[in-house]
A and B are shown apart, each in its own frame.
Chain A
Amino acid sequence: MKRTVENKLSDIQQIQKYLNGELDASAMHILERRAQDDPFLMDALEGYAAKGSDQSNNLSSLQERLQARTATKVRRMTPWMITAIAASVVGFAVVIGLLNNNNGDNKQAPQVAINEPVIQAVPADTSAVTIDDKAKPVITAPKKQAIAFNSNRTRAKQSAQARADNHVPAPLQEATTASASNNAPSVSPLEEMVASDMIASKKQDTILGGGFVAVNKNASALTALKSKAEGANMTTRPGKPTDNNPTALANAGLPPNLMAGAVINRKDALPLQDALGKAPAQTGGNAQANAYGYTSPNTKKDANVLANNNTLGAKGFQASDSAEQFKGSPTLAEVVIFNNAAKRASNAQPLVGWDNYKKYLQQNAVSPDGNEGLVELKATISTTGAITAIIVTKSLSTAADSKAISLVQNGPAWVGKAGDVIIKVEFHK
């Protein structure tokens, strides 16, 4: 009746030996007794006995299958995890990409050239004055409620709720405050506020959210404010209210006002509705323009643009929106502050450096239509590193030209001062 553990643990060996007749009588009896008590063993024994042949090969192959099966689970999970991770990474990248795309105002060093919708195929010289073309009509059309620091107080008074305060502040305090207000976003379009007629080159624009506030960082020669806006609050100007010429200002011991503002849509250069614009210019050579209240959800914070204006020694002007003043009146949408400062020397360069940029071009300049040769482009780079215009100065073929343009557009970002750069793209097969 003894039954050893070994017997139990080596079922298959015993079975095998039993079937091969290698067991002695008592060992056989033990196995048979166990089989009598254990239908499992009994059935198995019968199964093996019926087959007769040696099943150890089949058994070891079964063992492999079982091991593969139990290991498969683990192996199978890995690709899924990798897939999941890859998917999340791709998703994350897409989200980041979208965010970056929407946030044209992201001031962080762009990794990719910023393309503005205006650019392509626009000759450089016209693109530079795009804003001017569109802005000018607004400035000169009083009915559109342009607000300016010009003088004409009678007009300001005509405006239903406009006030003109004539309190004269202490000297060297704020020279001018022009308040244009709008509260009802539902109202008609406004429009623009121009504090001076100075016009900046587009390259010096600073892009903010959906619209832009452009500030020239380089002050230029003194220019008188010419335009005005209905509903503007004119205050604290020494001398005659209409007096806006540099000489008069200088006589009054004040520097001239040099800034003009308008908030316009970046894409079509039309005035934005419902936007509040505020552009206070302050002393110490700094003019600060605050633009906020954009409807773009991505622009949550106030955007501040600092403009260093060395010649703008005074407090400049303040254009602010206050809701109470112009209920139901057209709204001030954008502020563009620009002047006609001289362009800076162009030394825009690729973020990655010219060498790498050339390498990039070389690697990607695979001719789309088999034509080999040189395409020369002139790209206009803004202060933000955005490519605002690309013109083909030397053409190879239509396909090659557009490929060259897209290479530049989608290529490395640009840094440095605004200006034009000549880019040569040598196409090869």
Chain B
Amino acid sequence: MKFFNRPVKPEDTADDKLLQSYRDTRDLKVLGRLYERYMPLVYGVGLKYLKDEEQAQDAVMAIFEELALKVHQHEIKQFRAWLYVLSRNHCLMQLRGGKKLETVALDEFMEFTPVLHPDTDNREEAMQALERCLDKLTPAQQQSVKLFYLDEKCYKEVADETGFTMNEVKSYIQNGKRNLKICLEKNSGE
């Protein structure tokens, strides 16, 4: 039931190695190899925000240029997360005509892994807290989150079962998850 655990992925270390290698050698090919892994994702992000294939492709290349410079300026702990923020900021900047709005500062980039359970010894207690918080969600969110996380169903199945649209399911799950997180944080703080 570790909903929010995000295990260390094997490629993270490989990322770090490539990154370090690029920092040492400044060989763009190394960075290119690293970036290649994430290019589909970056492109997807570009598609999402810019909604145009050409623009998204240009953004992918521009982000690479930005990356090549900023890699030297920032300390990067998690390349994947950092790259995401970089990519999103780039797209947002473009959308807003270069106005710096709502972009996340790269250095204080998010921990997008949800809060970990305080400790495993209190597992029972944590479960109870989770149950409590789940109950506080709206019925739609509760239903979606339960189906998705507990029953491990995919969006489509959830949608089929609940009669919501796919997008509704997605947003219920996202919002439900966020609310859960807030609730759990409050609980652990109490």
Given contacts A39-B112, A40-B83, A43-B48, contact A62 B43 (CB under 8 A): yes
Q: Are B6 and A37 in contact (CB under 8 A)?
A: yes
In the complex, the chain A residue whose C-beta lies closest to that of B151 is: A29
Q: Which of A8, A44, A73 contacts B11 (CB 8 A)?
A: A8
Given contacts A44-B48, A55-B43, A59-B40, contact A67 B32 (CB under 8 A): yes
Q: Are B174 and A36 in contact (CB under 8 A)?
A: yes
Q: Are B40 and A12 in contact (CB under 8 A)?
A: yes
Q: Considering the complex, which residues of chain B in the window 6-41 have a beta carbon less than 8 Å from any beta carbon of chain A?
A: 6-7, 9-11, 28-29, 31-32, 35-36, 38-41
B134 interface residue (CB < 8 Å to A)? no
B164 interface residue (CB < 8 Å to A)? no
Given contacts A32-B155, A47-B46, contact A62 B173 (CB under 8 A): no
Q: Which of B6, B11, B39, B57 contacts A9 (CB 8 A)?
A: B11
B residues near A5, Cβ cutoff 8 Å: 9-11
Closest Cβ–Cβ distance, residue A136 to chain B (whole Å): 75
Q: Are A11 and B157 in contact (CB under 8 A)?
A: no
B residues near A8, Cβ cutoff 8 Å: 9-11
In the complex, the chain B residue whose C-beta lies closest to that of A73 is: B28
Given contacts A3-B7, A43-B84, A47-B43, contact A36 B2 (CB under 8 A): no
Q: Are B45 and A44 in contact (CB under 8 A)?
A: yes
On chain B, the number of residues with a Cβ less than 8 Å from chain A's Cβ atoms is 52
Complexed CA–CA distance, A26 and B154 (Å):
7
A170 interface residue (CB < 8 Å to B)? no
Q: Are A70 and B31 in contact (CB under 8 A)?
A: yes
Complexed CA–CA distance, A31 and B148 (Å):
12
Q: Are A69 and B64 in contact (CB under 8 A)?
A: yes
* Per-residue interface assignment for chain A, residues 26 to 53, with 1 indicating a CB less than 8 Å from any chain B CB and 0 otherwise: 1011011100111111011111101100
Q: Are A69 and B32 in contact (CB under 8 A)?
A: yes
Q: Are A15 and B148 in contact (CB under 8 A)?
A: no
A residues near B60, Cβ cutoff 8 Å: 62, 66
A398 interface residue (CB < 8 Å to B)? no
Q: Which of B48, B148, B174 contacts A47 (CB 8 A)?
A: B48
B53 interface residue (CB < 8 Å to A)? yes
Q: Which of B48, B57, B83 contacts A65 (CB 8 A)?
A: B57
In the complex, the chain A residue whose C-beta lies closest to that of B50 is: A47
In the complex, the chain A residue whose C-beta lies closest to that of B156 is: A28
Q: Are A29 and B154 in contact (CB under 8 A)?
A: yes
Q: Considering the complex, which residues of chain B in the window 65-100 have a beta carbon less than 8 Å from any beta carbon of chain A?
A: 80-81, 83-84, 87-88
Q: Are A37 and B4 in contact (CB under 8 A)?
A: yes
Complexed CA–CA distance, A37 and B149 (Å):
12
A residues near B112, Cβ cutoff 8 Å: 37-39
Closest Cβ–Cβ distance, residue B178 to chain A (whole Å): 10
B residues near A51, Cβ cutoff 8 Å: 47, 51, 53
Complexed CA–CA distance, A29 and B64 (Å):
31
Q: Which of B39, B44, B45 contacts A15 (CB 8 A)?
A: B44
Complexed CA–CA distance, A44 and B48 (Å):
7
Closest Cβ–Cβ distance, residue B44 to chain A (whole Å): 3
Q: Are B39 and A66 in contact (CB under 8 A)?
A: yes
B residues near A36, Cβ cutoff 8 Å: 148, 173-174, 177
B61 interface residue (CB < 8 Å to A)? yes
Complexed CA–CA distance, A37 and B152 (Å):
14
A58 interface residue (CB < 8 Å to B)? yes
A residues near B154, Cβ cutoff 8 Å: 25-26, 28-29, 31-32
Q: Are B48 and A46 in contact (CB under 8 A)?
A: yes
Q: Are B157 and A25 in contact (CB under 8 A)?
A: yes
A250 interface residue (CB < 8 Å to B)? no
Q: Are B43 and A40 in contact (CB under 8 A)?
A: no
B residues near A47, Cβ cutoff 8 Å: 43-49, 56
B residues near A62, Cβ cutoff 8 Å: 39, 43, 57, 60-61
B153 interface residue (CB < 8 Å to A)? yes
Q: Are A43 and B88 in contact (CB under 8 A)?
A: yes
Complexed CA–CA distance, A91 and B47 (Å):
53
Q: Are B44 and A48 in contact (CB under 8 A)?
A: yes
Q: Can you show 14 pairs from A to B with CB atoms below 8 A apart?
A: A25-B153, A37-B4, A39-B84, A40-B84, A43-B48, A43-B84, A44-B48, A46-B48, A47-B44, A48-B44, A55-B47, A62-B61, A66-B60, A69-B32
When A and B form their complex, which 8 residue pairs have the shortest distance between CB atoms, in order from nearest?
A44-B44, A47-B48, A47-B47, A28-B154, A12-B40, A70-B32, A40-B84, A47-B44
